[in-house]
Structure 1
């Protein structure tokens, strides 16, 4: 029996290293890692999704995306026949956005975000106090791979201006009940991970390794048992 191809897309600016502890049974699944690319001038999210989708070389793949990567794989699914789309710590439409993101869209406040600070971890460290904060920055630096300011400005804008309002009912949504970026109170119809934060791909990997295989293999109706 041929293996099921599974493509993983990290979150905004993140590297594929965030998946280093995700281990699907190799006898059943064949894992492939997708990476962010610098957007072309004035490239729309749809065109970008189409360009990344062209990197998928298998039929009927499973697409798994984290955070902004979850938004992207939903757009990619318009261009390929995916076996299943699974999003983690993400949203299924802009109706699930927190109030601050909706305000940012209305006021265009997202244009004021100093994304250049993200490019310089040492500068951020100077403003932080305590060993725990600096440890977080080191962790963030490890998993941040895309430091191109053009990409960062583009990515933030694509999240805030995402136009999807109709949810694809076939999308499987896995979400932590302690996610502070996309609070669970705004999320509907998801598999809830207790204690899961926005970075649960890193610290809830055991839960994901235990449950992802069955979530991939089960039908949407069977997965609804989790919901």
Structure 2
């Protein structure tokens, strides 16, 4: 039996180091880490996603994306056949965005963000991982790798202007109930991780390592509802 290829995409400005604690059984899964590319001039999110798809070297992969990476892998899935799309600490459409995102879109206030200030590692860490992070800056220097102003301007605009309004019900959404970037009260139909913050890929890795294999295989059962099973989409398996 061939291994299931699992491609993982980090969050905004983050490096693949955020996945260093994620371990899947080697007998069943083969992990491939995707890295952010600097966007081309005037490149749209779908165009960027199509370019990122060129990095997928296996048929019918599982795509896992964190935060903005979750938005990106949903766009990538438009161009290739996938086994599953799993998003963590992200959103399935702009309907799940908090009010401040929607206000930013209406007022174009995001254009006023001084991106040069975000090149400071502490500011970038708060921007990418949420305001509740502690100040272990050396740690975040490790996890944040993209400090290009053009990328940051592009990424923020692509998030705020993301035009997806229809949720793809096949997307599996894992979300923490203490996420301060995408608050849980705006999120629907997700697997809730109690105590999970926006950086739960780092500090809830034990839960993810325990549950991701079954989620990918379609045999996962909710702890509070033993009858709930995420089933494989037979057309994509």
TM-score over 0.5 for the alignment? yes
Residue 224 of structure 2 aligns with which residue? none
Which runs of structure 2 are paired with 1:1-227 in the superposition (5 Å)? 1-121=1-121, 133-135=134-136, 137-218=137-218, 222-223=229-230
Residue 128 of structure 1 aligns with which residue? none
Residues 133, 196 of structure 1: CA spacing in aligned structure 2 closer, same or farther, 3 A cutoff? closer
- Partner Cα separation in structure 1 for residue 71 and residue 55 of structure 2: 17
CA deviation profile, 1:15-49 (whole Å, cap 9, x unmatched):
00000000000000000000000000000000000
The 4+ residue runs of structure 1 with deviation greater than 4 A are: 122-125
* CA RMSD, 1 decimal: 1.9
Equivalenced residue count is: 217
Shift of residue 167 of structure 1?
0.3
- Partner Cα separation in structure 1 for residue 85 and residue 124 of structure 2: 35
Shift of residue 56 of structure 1?
0.2
Shift of residue 117 of structure 1?
1.8
- More displaced 10-residue stretch of structure 1: 94-103 or 214-223: 214-223
Judge conservation of contact 2:122–2:135 (CA < 8 Å) in 1: no
Residues 123, 47 of structure 1: CA spacing in aligned structure 2 closer, same or farther, 3 A cutoff? closer
- Partner Cα separation in structure 1 for residue 92 and residue 158 of structure 2: 14
Judge conservation of contact 2:60–2:81 (CA < 8 Å) in 1: yes
- Partner Cα separation in structure 2 for residue 122 and residue 171 of structure 1: 32
Residues 122, 106 of structure 1: CA spacing in aligned structure 2 closer, same or farther, 3 A cutoff? closer
Shift of residue 122 of structure 1?
7.7
Unaligned runs of 5+ in 2: 126-132, 221-227, 232-237
Give the number of the structure whose residues are more often helix, by fraction: 1
SS at match of 2:86: strand
CA deviation profile, 1:110-157 (whole Å, cap 9, x unmatched):
0111221221338989xxxxxx9542x322222110111000000000
Residue 234 of structure 2 aligns with which residue? none
- Partner Cα separation in structure 2 for residue 170 and residue 153 of structure 1: 30
Unaligned runs of 5+ in 1: 126-131
- Partner Cα separation in structure 2 for residue 133 and residue 169 of structure 1: 35
